[in-house]
A = this chain, B = another copy of it.
Amino acid sequence: MIGRLNHVAIAVPDLKAASAQYRDTLGAKVGAPQDEPDHGVTVVFIELPNTKIELLYPLGEASPIRGFLEKNPSGGIHHICYEVDDIIAARDHLKAAGARVLGDGEPKIGAHGKPVLFLHPKDFNGSLIELEQV
């Protein structure tokens, strides 16, 4: 069911410094910051040859990244995103297998303009998984 790893998301306490580190020290291809108000984040995408790294920084008071950075002040790996062909079929299959979908269970439009869902980390080895329909 799952396809490519679309991206790994890393929450960072300083988006400018993290972008500069990936560009200058790690020598990667780093994009410009994009605000995603629906998700409460500002994101910077780093393009690797086979996938992307998504740097996440809180946007707005209700940002879901704010609590994560309070617990992890240096930042940390926040989630991984797997691609699926049909997000509704994937959701229904996972729910039937006992997995919990976060929020109201309906897909939202993600940072790439595609439908996304998040799965409960406790049901997946403590790792937050995003599914993105491609």
Binary CB contact string for chain A from 86 to 128 against chain B (1 if under 8 A, 0 otherwise):
0000000110010100000000000000000000011011110
- As for how many copies of this chain the complex holds, the number is 2
| Interface pair A74/B26, CB less than 8 Å apart | no
Smallest distance from the beta carbon of A26 to chain B beta carbons, Å? 5
A-B contact pairs, 15 of them (CB 8 A): A2-B27, A4-B51, A5-B5, A5-B8, A8-B80, A18-B125, A21-B125, A25-B97, A48-B82, A50-B51, A53-B80, A74-B121, A74-B122, A76-B127, A77-B126
Enumerate A52-87 residues with CB–CB distance to B below 8 Å.
53, 55, 72-77, 79-80, 82
Given A25-B99, A28-B2, the answer on whether A125 and B48 have CB atoms closer than 8 Å is: no
Q: Which of A4, A5, A79, A97 has the most CB of B within 10 A?
A: A5
Chain B residue with the shortest CB-CB distance to A3? B49
| Assembled-state Cα–Cα distance A1/B46 (Å) | 13
Q: Report how many residues on chain A are interfacial, defined by Cβ distance under 8 Å.
A: 41
Indicate whether A41 reaches chain B with its CB closer than 8 angstroms: no
A124 cross-chain contacts in B, Cβ below 8 A:
21
Smallest distance from the beta carbon of A132 to chain B beta carbons, Å? 13
| Assembled-state Cα–Cα distance A113/B8 (Å) | 25
Indicate whether A10 reaches chain B with its CB closer than 8 angstroms: yes
